[in-house]
């Protein structure tokens, strides 16, 4: 926030040496563009039909500051509660922790992707996400956010 931030707030008690989060709001000098989701639907199989749905989307972040900044991007990946419904993450490849210069990605225990990137001054980065969902055609699938 270019070293200019004034606010009034309250925080919970914190022990010496503990870490805590204190959101400071949005930074207008970091531009975020969430590209529309693209879906491709396909049915495969002659005897037992399988429904395939491929989902693509991208988050594009631009640092317009004259200094570098660190950004964290969290993206939810669907998690199936039924073994007949499969979800496969295509992009990013989380086996490779480093996905770019100064950028890492991990999958946390809540099935969310966590990107941490250092954006150079006036730099930008695209965060791609692609996954495939597959389930038997006769099964009705309902998507819920939790």
pLDDT of 5 above 80: no
Question: Over the stretch 10-23, which tens digit does the pLDDT of each residue have?
Answer: 778 888 888 877 77
| Each residue's pLDDT tens digit, 51-104 | 888 999 999 999 999 999 999 999 999 888 889 999 999 999 888 877 777 899
Average pLDDT of the residues of the chain = 85
User: What global pTM score does this model have?
Assistant: 0.73
State how far the Cα of 34 lies from the Cα of 103, in Å rounded to an integer: 18
For the chain, give every domain's residue range. Answer: 30-136
Distance of alpha carbon 36 from alpha carbon 17, whole angstroms: 42
Cα distances (angstroms) measured from residue 99 to each of 57, 76, 91, 128: 16, 18, 10, 10
pLDDT at 39 exceeding the cut of 60: yes
């Amino acid at each position: 926030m270019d070293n200019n931030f004034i606010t009034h707030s309250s925080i919970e008690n914190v022990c010496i040496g503990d870490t805590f989060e204190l959101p400071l709001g949005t930074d207008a000098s970091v531009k975020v563009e969430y590209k529309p989701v693209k879906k491709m639907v396909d049915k495969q199989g002659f005897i037992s039909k399988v429904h395939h749905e491929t989902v693509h989307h991208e988050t594009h972040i631009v640092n317009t500051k004259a200094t570098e900044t660190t950004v964290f991007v969290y993206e939810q990946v669907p998690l199936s509660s039924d073994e007949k419904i499969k979800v496969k993450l295509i992009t990013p490849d989380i086996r490779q922790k480093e996905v770019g210069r100064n950028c890492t990605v991990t999958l946390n225990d809540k099935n969310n992707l966590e990107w941490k990137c250092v954006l150079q001054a006036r730099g930008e980065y695209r965060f791609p996400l692609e996954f495939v969902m597959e389930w038997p055609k006769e099964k009705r699938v309902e998507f819920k956010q939790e």
